Chain A
């Protein structure tokens, strides 16, 4: 029981990761794939930040009278990762717009049919 209480955060983060992963590999709509990728990214951030949590600690800003701080290093890494993630998402959505203009559809199997029917 103690084991479940001390580890359920990680398990729910892994469940969210798998939900995002399932959305990417099993759905054909390109915008939905990008949304699934974003869900995967956010749950990876949740997993990383939960590794740096200290029970009873405060946010890593030095203030008077606080003894215990959370680990600041995962915060730094995830800050960079969030911004790179939004750059990737913006680029992916621009590609989706161009694909729609070129093929007329954004469903993956229809794009494959148009490619193979040459």
Chain B
């Protein structure tokens, strides 16, 4: 019973923070609220027994992402969002409600939350849980699967991170040219 109450309180806080992010216009406050959102989702992951994921989400979401967004609004000197003047304000809301209704209709067939007899728990997961320690000798099943059983995916992920680093170096690594108010002439960095 106490688990259900903790779940409901955390999810309610997440929903309130998300709605506040949409409604506010001060970018600095929005970024701070995003840090809070990321941290609350890390706590939610811990409640759902996903400790590795909570670790990564707290470090990456509430740490690196927030710092980079603050650096962006410091560089662009843009602290307030302009109020949108859209011709059809009901169109995004209609699209969102339709998509949400379709997704909720899709979740009506999902097995109940936490069911040990659900199809996702009885086919592939017992294989890894039983054979992780005899075959690799590591108690942490997530690290064993990540580094040994599914090592190719982790190789691809490391290459993706490396590519993102190279791309940011190409975009922002050179000397800054004088900011112009109109259209920029030419391209490329003066390195």
Contacts and interface: CB of A to CB of B under 8 A. Distances in A.
Q: Do chains A and B touch in the complex (CB under 8 A)?
A: yes
Interface of A: 5-12, 14-23, 25-29, 31-32, 34-36, 38-39, 42, 45-46, 49-63, 68-76, 78-80, 82-91, 93-98, 100-104, 106-107, 109, 114, 118
Contacts of B60: 82-83, 85-86
Q: State the majority secondary structure of interface residues on B.
A: helix
A91 B181 contact: no
A31 B69 contact: yes
Contacts of A29: 27, 78, 81-82
Q: Is the interface of A mostly helix, strand, loop or mixed?
A: helix
Interface in B133-191: 133, 139-142, 145-146, 150, 153-154, 157, 160-161, 163-164, 167-168, 171-172, 176-177, 179-184
Interface of B: 4, 7-8, 11, 14-15, 18-19, 21-22, 27, 30-31, 34, 37-38, 41, 44-45, 48-53, 56-57, 60-61, 64-65, 68-69, 71-73, 75-76, 78, 81-82, 84-86, 89, 92-93, 95-97, 99-100, 103-104, 107-108, 110, 112-116, 118, 120-121, 124-125, 128-129, 132-133, 139-142, 145-146, 150, 153-154, 157, 160-161, 163-164, 167-168, 171-172, 176-177, 179-184
